[in-house]
DNA sequence: ATGTCTCAGGGACTGAGA
């Protein structure tokens, strides 16, 4: 079972690239973030024509998450509805579904803007809410993968220049601690297979950051312990950052063997 | 290089967000 995640930074702009990528990689499940549109403008027909079932939770201009899958999923949920907490339902940042017994969660964690800002406070609260909700999800589905743009570089090994990013947003101790609570008991499936320094998934559009490999590893796939043993491969597809109209994020892919 | 990309509003460009 091949599971992937990709912050596409606008589904409408990225559609041709996304369809080509689906045909090349044929993931069983693909988690998308930053679709940046409402259902009325979401390209359901094009993705269905490419052979995928689609579950989307979008909103105008910002955010938006989706699950694409070869087989239809079950128990699809949007937000943290089980807990009914408005901090998690006012922005389209989490969608989950079950595929072949594996619970797949696609999240777009708030960016946080600047340390100390209202958006930063919201990010920390959102991560705390995610942690609580995920505990319940894992009780129902012991096989769970958490995928998405987490907007946190978990360690300095995930940062091209740890000094420059020291206690900057995406890298602060508070964010890392909140993220560690979210992923407690789970395994970083990418690091399991890609331990090398300099592995990053996002490069700022500004300057020549991609060509200098000045990026951060903020897109992740974590798995519960039953899945750690099943994970036979994990890659960052940095080729998708090249060419015409790339997203600023690369897709991340894991392979699970039952 | 405060460096780019995407969106909305409005109908050319600006501001917000990342």
Domains parsed from chain A with CATH numbers: 2-256 (3.60.10.10)
Please name the residue that has the structure tokens 């044929």. Answer: A26
pLDDT in the model for residue A84: 47
Cα–Cα dist A32/A9, whole Å: 9
The catalytically annotated residue of A28, A52, A108, A188 is A108
Q: How far is the CA of A115 from the C1' of B1 (A)?
A: 24
The catalytically annotated residue of A149, A188, A219, A248 is A149
Q: Which two tokens stand for residue A177?
A: 């601690």
A65-94 pLDDT, tens digit per residue, is 999 999 999 999 999 875 445 456 689 999
A4-54 pLDDT, tens digit per residue, is 999 999 999 999 999 999 999 999 999 999 999 999 999 999 999 999 999
Is the alpha carbon torsion for A56, A223, A142, A99 positive or negative? positive
Average predicted confidence (pLDDT) for chain A: 95
Q: How far is the CA of A62 from the C1' of B8 (A)?
A: 11
Question: Residue A247: which nucleotide is closest by CA–C1'?
Answer: B5
Q: How far is the CA of A168 from the C1' of B4 (A)?
A: 20
Question: Residue A151: which nucleotide is closest by CA–C1'?
Answer: B18
A108 is catalytic: yes
């Amino acid at each position: 079972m091949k599971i992937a995640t990709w912050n596409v930074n606008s589904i409408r702009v990225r559609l041709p690239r996304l369809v080509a990528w689906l045909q090349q990689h044929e993931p069983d499940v693909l988690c998308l973030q930053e679709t940046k549109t409402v259902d009325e403008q979401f390209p359901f027909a094009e993705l269905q024509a490419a052979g995928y079932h689609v579950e989307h939770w979008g909103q105008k201009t910002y955010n938006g998450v989706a699950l694409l899958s070869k087989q239809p999923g079950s128990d699809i949920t949007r937000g943290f509805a089980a807990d009914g907490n408005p901090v998690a339902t006012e922005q389209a940042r989490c969608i989950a579904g079950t595929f072949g017994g594996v619970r797949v969660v696609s999240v777009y964690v708030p960016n946080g803007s600047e340390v100390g800002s209202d958006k930063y406070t919201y990010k920390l609260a959102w991560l705390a809410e995610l942690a609580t909700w995920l505990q319940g999800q894992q009780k129902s589905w012991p096989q769970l993968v958490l995928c998405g743009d987490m907007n946190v570089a978990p360690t300095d090994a995930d940062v091209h220049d740890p000094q420059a990013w020291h206690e900057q947003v995406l890298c602060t101790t508070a964010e890392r601690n909140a993220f560690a609570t979210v992923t407690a008991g789970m395994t970083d499936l990418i690091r399991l297979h890609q331990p090398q320094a300099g592995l990053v998934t996002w490069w700022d559009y500004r300057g020549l950051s991609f060509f200098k490999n000045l990026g951060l590893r903020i897109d992740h796939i974590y798995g519960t312990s039953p899945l750690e043993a099943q994970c036979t491969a994990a890659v960052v597809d940095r080729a998708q950052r090249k060419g015409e109209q790339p997203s600023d994020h690369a897709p991340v892919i894991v392979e699970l063997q039952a």
